[in-house]
Structure 1
Amino acid sequence: MRLLCMLILFVKEVVYSLDDNNGRLLRAQATASLAHDCQRGCKSTVVPICAEGITFQNECLAFCQGFEMYSKGKCNLIDGLRDNNKQPKFLESAGRDVFVGTPELKRFEGFIYTGVVSLDHSLPMMLQMSLPNNASDDSILHNVDHEKESEERDLRAIRVTSTGALYVSPGNIGTNDTILRLAGDNGHRKEKVIGHDTREIITDTATMPFKAIGEIDYSRFSEGGCTGSIIGASSVLTAGHCVYNQKDQRWQSPYSFSPGRYRSNDQTIEPFGVWLVDYTTTYLKYTQTGDVEYDLAIMTMKSNANGKVGDYMGQFWIGVSQCAFPGDSGISGYPGDKSDGTLWKSQPCDRWYHDCRSKSVFHQCDTYGGFSGAPIYTKTNVVIGVHTHAYGPQIKWNGGVAFDNVHVNSLKSWMSDSSTS
């Protein structure tokens, strides 16, 4: 047995030396088949390797999912494990090897298990759009790059479970397109009230569309942070930055979703109950670049005693936005400048701007921090976009993501229970 182990180590060292000397990819099948027992599972050891542009936490995870060619170290490209140099604390504190078995590796069809990441349970960092110093009120409407290459080849998704398991969908890695970036001095997206505050509090959350809108909490002991809307039996739509902090490159950990939450007698009321988050999915492109046109995410919820959240509460449809947004479109969410747990609507908005050539929409609905992820919806309860950001104090516009066919198809592919109009 000792001789066999020494032989395995010798063969592996020879193969690794080829990579070190010549920079060539490693052919792992012959040696890994002796070293890894895929039926038993893979340890949580962190020795990163790169296979087909995907960083795996270790060689075993790649081999047991059919990857035969790889190189030592992380991929040069940005991906979900780029800055994850060691095990998350909950694995370190286990005091033993944690094995990842076949059920975890094959949990999501079309996704590859790459490792485990640490999760941040603090409130999401909400960033402000950076603009030139001489930006004018309407100049931002014409500052969108329309020369981007086709986005359809750059639609990889990335998924994280409530325990930190990270999955990516295979596909093309991405482009270096010019993008609208998020930036800010203090890290808080200053979604704002424009002129006179026209927001209206919702006191009856038992009817559509308000019962399908809820507040997202980030721990059992905190309240609020983002807004979400139900678009499937188990699917809640929100903003990408509500699940991933692109500035600090760390994963947020939304904990629960409370549809129709309101406040009465100085207490927060969840009239329909609370649903816990199972996993979240967003665009890999958003985590790589912070492109606000891809600032979208879906939270998949666990069932509770009432069943699935969408079956119990009802849900929105999702649809492609029109070039000229309907004047009756509105936004409803949970703003941070109002009493905790209160739902407010901005409808109708004073102005909309969407030129149909980009995935960005500009609006003059009154918003505030906490509105991030709020649905932009029509009077027929079709969500056609998501509110995501504001601009500097000199700009009288807020912004969001407008749904086109690319976004609608992506959202549908991230869930198995979508409703589309």
Structure 2
Amino acid sequence: MNTFLLPDLGEGLTEAEIVRWLVKVGDVVAVDTPIAEVETAKSIVELPCPYAGVIEELHGEAGTTVPVGKPLITVGDPDGAAYRAEERAGSGNVLVGYGTTESGGAGRRRRPRVSGTSVAPAAEKVPERRVPLVISPLVRRLARDAEVDLRALTGSGPDGLIVRRDVELEIARRVQTEPSTTQTVPTQPVAVGFEARTGLPELRRTPMSGFRKAVIATLSRSRSEIPEATTWVDVDATALVDLRESLRSATDPGPGLLALMARFVVAGLLKYPELNGYVDTEREELVQYDGVNLGLAAQTDRGLMVPAVAGAHALTTRGLDAEIRRLTASARDGRLTQQELTSGTFTLNNYGSFGVDGSAAIINHPQVAILGVGRIIDRPWVVDGELAIRKLTQLSLVFDHRVCDGGTAAAFLRFVADAFENPASAFADL
């Protein structure tokens, strides 16, 4: 019998939450069979089993947080599992995946398939309600906090996927129906306790996930260590939008606006490398990178993530577009690697996706700058001495004042702004 301990997942991670089990007690597994999905502060990963045999015990339910080095599963002797399965098959019961003869044990016995499928006989199995497909950790946590049984829901997403609105509709249904059954049921969530400073009841307490703890630590360190400054500029992006449309065809959607923006940001960083580095406080040195890993802020159900396009300086605009789309999809599915989440050298944040004009962002430590792009909207603008309707956006740059003065930051921002306003000319110089 072997016990599989939660392995060291790297990057200083000390724990992981069990998202869902891919096996159950009694299942026969081979070496490297996926047994569970676990969520760390960085991403969701699938853990393979290092042993072959039968699952004897699962150490924790879905939603349990397991420290590194603590038991995850116990795996028994594979020969014993096969023997027990054959005994059941010989008694006339149906072995999962195979048939049986009317004469019961007269048929040839077969060893169970080594997979995530239980070897329990069909005649003895009690039909069970399986939890439908749920991808988002936020949806799982929302359901758990509200005590919603996911097995009772019908997913409205693709292929029956349970999405956030399915859980929220179930919670709303409860609020509407429960008061009618009894007059003692409160219409508001039960308070957890009273907060001493305000005297108000607490609505609820929600434990912080490992991911949220990591975000808080990074942002708090940024605020405490970095003397930041912010500069911004309004930009006429009409020509940029026109260029994006000119690259679109019936058979080719062309690079997206974010990829075009990324191309100019990367060019600006190569021209002003002070903003593409970090501060080595131990050696009291300012370090500049030879190359750009462009971080892109992406909002997901788990919160804000900043995956990085590795080697962005060596990619074409189409290459940037493809990598941005891949990373965005991986972020939403919780499949980003630790390397993708921690290797950025500069961050580009598209605030416009939230419908706002700008923000004084917090630098993603240990980086030294972040550039934000606001929404692009029609506004009045003076062109050649005459008033015209143009597509305007705002660029805002937050930078670490230790690595450069305002002049360098303003020059970088102006370079990017000029490229937005005259993209064809900018491309000719790249």
Q: Which has the higher helix share?
A: 2
TM-score tier (shorter): under 0.3
Q: What is the TM-score when the length of structure 2 is the normalising length? A: 0.23
Computing the radius of gyration over CA atoms, which structure comes out larger, 1 or 2?
2
